[in-house]
C-alpha cells in the first residue's frame, strides 16, 4: 500500500509536468519525507524509496542510484529498480537534461559551460548533455544579454560615452564567465554592448 501511494505521488510529479512546476535549481532540496525502514535486499522497499525521491522533482538515473546506494541497498537491487523506473518512463536522462537546460539557461540565465558541469555531476552522459544543449530551444546569446542588462546596464546610465570604465567591463566579463557562458560569446556580447552604449569602435 505504501509503495502504491509513493508511486502515485511519483506519477503526479514525473508525469512529466510542465517545466515551471519542476524544481531544477542547483541546490534543490531533497524530498523531506522520511524513507521507510530498509531491508537491503528488498526490491519493494527500494522502489518505495525511489518513488518518494522522484515525487518531489525529476532526477537523473545516477541521482536515484546514489540515493538507493546511500540507503544501503545492494547493487543488484539498485540496478533492478533503475531499470524498472526507466521502463515505466520515470527515469529519462535525455528529458531530464532538456528540462535542466531550458530552465537553467532560459529562465535562470546560466551558460552551457556551467550546465555541462552540473549535469556531469548528476551523472548524465556527455553525449546526452551535448544533444540537450543542441536541441534546446534557448538562445544562449540572448540569455547572456539579459544577464548583462540586468546586472550591469543600469549603473552605467548617465556616464560619459567618451570615458568608459574598463573595470566595469572586466567585472562583467568575469561574471558572465562564472555563469558558464563561453568566452568567445562573452566577448561578442560585451563588444556589441560597449559599442551600443558607449560609442566605442574598439574592444
Please indicate, yes or no, if residue 72 is contained in any of the structural domains: yes
Can you give the residue range of the structural domain that contains 174? 140-198
pLDDT tens by residue, 95-145: 999 999 999 998 899 999 999 999 999 999 999 999 999 887 788 999 999
Mean pLDDT of 153-178: 72
The overall average pLDDT reported for the chain is 80
Same-domain check for residues 83 and 11: yes
Using a 10 angstrom Cβ sphere, with 0-12 exposed, 13-18 middle and 19 or more buried, the burial of residue 199 is exposed
HSE of 125, CA atoms in CB hemisphere, 13 A: 8
Would you say 128 and 91 are in contact if contact means Cβ atoms under 8 Å apart?
A: no
Same-domain check for residues 63 and 129: no
Q: What is the pLDDT of residue 8?
A: 53
Please name the residues in contact with 32: beta carbons below 8 A apart, sequence gap of 6 or more.
56
> What is the number of domains present in the chain?
3
Same-domain check for residues 6 and 81: yes
Overall pTM > 0.75: no
Question: Which three cell numbers mark 40?
Answer: 537491503
User: 152: pLDDT confidence band, cut at 50, 70 and 90?
Assistant: confident
Same-domain check for residues 87 and 100: no
Using a 10 angstrom Cβ sphere, with 0-12 exposed, 13-18 middle and 19 or more buried, the burial of residue 27 is exposed
Amino acid at each position: 500500500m505504501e509503495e502504491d501511494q509513493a508511486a502515485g505521488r511519483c506519477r503526479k510529479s514525473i508525469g512529466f509536468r510542465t517545466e515551471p512546476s519542476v524544481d531544477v535549481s542547483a541546490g534543490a532540496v531533497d524530498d523531506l519525507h522520511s524513507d521507510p525502514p530498509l531491508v537491503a535486499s528488498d526490491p519493494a522497499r527500494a522502489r518505495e524509496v525511489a518513488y518518494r525521491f522522484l515525487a518531489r522533482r525529476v532526477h537523473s538515473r545516477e541521482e536515484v542510484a546514489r540515493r538507493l546506494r546511500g540507503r544501503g541497498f545492494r547493487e543488484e537491487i539498485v540496478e533492478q529498480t533503475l531499470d524498472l523506473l526507466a521502463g515505466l518512463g520515470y527515469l529519462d536522462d535525455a528529458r531530464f537534461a532538456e528540462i535542466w537546460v531550458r530552465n537553467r539557461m532560459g529562465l535562470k540565465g546560466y551558460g552551457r559551460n556551467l550546465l555541462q558541469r552540473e549535469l556531469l555531476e548528476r551523472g548524465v552522459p556527455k553525449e546526452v548533455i551535448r544533444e540537450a544543449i543542441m536541441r534546446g530551444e534557448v538562445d544562449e546569446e540572448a540569455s547572456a544579454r539579459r544577464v548583462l542588462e540586468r546586472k550591469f546596464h543600469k549603473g552605467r546610465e548617465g556616464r560619459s560615452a567618451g570615458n568608459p570604465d574598463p573595470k566595469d567591463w572586466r567585472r562583467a566579463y568575469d561574471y558572465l564567465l562564472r555563469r558558464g557562458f563561453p568566452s568567445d560569446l562573452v566577448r561578442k556580447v560585451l563588444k556589441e554592448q560597449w559599442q551600443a552604449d558607449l560609442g566605442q569602435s574598439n574592444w
